[in-house]
A and B are shown apart, each in its own frame.
Chain A
Amino acid sequence: GAVVSQHPSRVICKSGTSVKIECRSLDFQATTMFWYRQFPKQSLMLMATSNEGSKATYEQGVEKDKFLINHASLTLSTLTVTSAHPEDSSFYICRAERGQWGTEAFFGQGTRLTVV
């Protein structure tokens, strides 16, 4: 099956710094990638939809200036958490879809962000 690689898998950063998370589709082109946030034992919360070559579409309540998304190529999307605070500590997951109508969805392994 298709592989989506997310990096890093775990990161600890100081409050006030920025952290970049990468999501790559290794063997297919993903025109659309999605970024989720997951709290412990809770559901996935869609943060934004990232389309290659255009601005990301953010869900209501997600600060676009805080969570910067860049989808520069068909195989790479990045999420940058700017000026991180402890409340940003969470598990972030990306998802990429293959096919024109996104008939298959593949998830990255997730990034555990801890802001101290």
Chain B
Amino acid sequence: AQRVTQPEKLLSVFKGAPVELKCNYSYSGSPELFWYVQYSRQRLQLLLRHISRESIKGFTADLNKGETSFHLKKPFAQEEDSAMYYCALRGASSGSARQLTFGSGTQLTVLP
């Protein structure tokens, strides 16, 4: 079974401070990991995926297979980063494992 755990339901940081949203996963094979973001009154959208190894809006996330983690980081948080963030996993095999499994989400609030 695949599982995604986001231990922090709420996270508040001040503007300009570093932020890290934690994500741990459980999967026996090689998963694809994603971060999705949901800004207030907007639809869920893809923020980044581990295979792209990209930085989007200053956010990065590194897949650590040893720790089975995919933490999302940004060195200097901005107020517009306030949103709900979901970590998601997709298994590598076909069938139901191709479904996206979402973590419970972390509500990030960046304070002025």
Contacts and interface: CB of A to CB of B under 8 A. Distances in A.
Interface residues of B, number: 19
Contacts, number: 39
Contact of B84 (A41, A49, A93, A101): A41
B86 interface: yes
A42 B44 CA distance: 13
Interface stretch (A14-22, A68-76, A102-110): A102-110
Interface residues of A, number: 17
A46 interface: yes
A43 B94 contact: no
B14 to A, nearest CB: 21
A45 B69 CA distance: 22
B99 A93 contact: no
B99 A42 contact: no
Contacts of B102: 43-44, 46
Nearest to A101: B98
B98 A105 contact: no
Interface of A: 34, 41-44, 46, 49, 93, 95, 101-102, 104-105, 107-110
Given A43-B103, A44-B86, 8 more contacts: A41-B9, A41-B105, A43-B102, A43-B104, A44-B105, A49-B96, A107-B43, A107-B44
